[in-house]
Amino acid sequence: MKKIQLLFIFLFFSISIYAQDKTAEVYIIRDTQSIGSLTKFEVFVDDEIICEIKNHKYIITNLTPGIHKFSVQMTGKKSKANVDHFELELEANEEYYLQVETPSSVMGSSHFTEVTKNSANKIIPKLEEQEDCD
């Protein structure tokens, strides 16, 4: 009986470790200029809020492979239908970089732009990782 229990425990941890390797790492970068610079922006993945990101910060989130919908907005705890949504197909063990873009006027809406790893590697060292996503 103990051998069976140990086998189940081993299988559980093996599957858990294997599943952790099957995610994509998404960097969300916020280094916006004057419009909304003092405001936290709400970041949504698949219409669920994952973080209120501060200016001059970045966050890292691990997501399952597949198509995900990203959006960002200055106000509201629920994803709004009228904001720009960015769809991205994620692959396991890959890194993706999304940068918050702010509008040039108060009437516009913020959105994401995908940036290359090379571009992100120039921006990220100037920022701090935000670990408290309140």
Q: What is the CATH number of the domain that holds 75?
A: 2.60.40
Is 8 domain-assigned? no
Tell me whether residue 78 is in a domain. yes
Q: Are residues 111 and 42 in contact, defined by beta-carbon separation less than 8 angstroms? A: no
**13 or 42: whose pLDDT is higher?**
42
User: What average pLDDT does the chain have?
Assistant: 82
Instruction: Give the residue-averaged pLDDT of 70-75.
Output: 85
Please determine, for residue 80, whether its predicted confidence score (pLDDT) is greater than 50.
yes
Q: Does residue 122 form part of some domain?
A: yes
Mean pLDDT score, 50-73? 95
Domain-located, residue 86: yes
> Mean pLDDT, to the nearest integer, of 56-74?
94
> Which residues, other chains included, contact 16 with Cβ-Cβ below 8 Å and sequence gap of 6+?
none
Q: For the chain, how many structural domains are there in total?
A: 1
Look up residue 19 and give its two tokens: 């599943």
pLDDT for residue 73: 85
Q: Which structural domain range is residue 29 located in?
A: 24-129
pLDDT in tens, 82-119: 677 889 999 999 999 999 988 765 555 788 899 999 99
Query: Residue 24 and residue 125: Cα distance in Å, rounded?
Result: 21
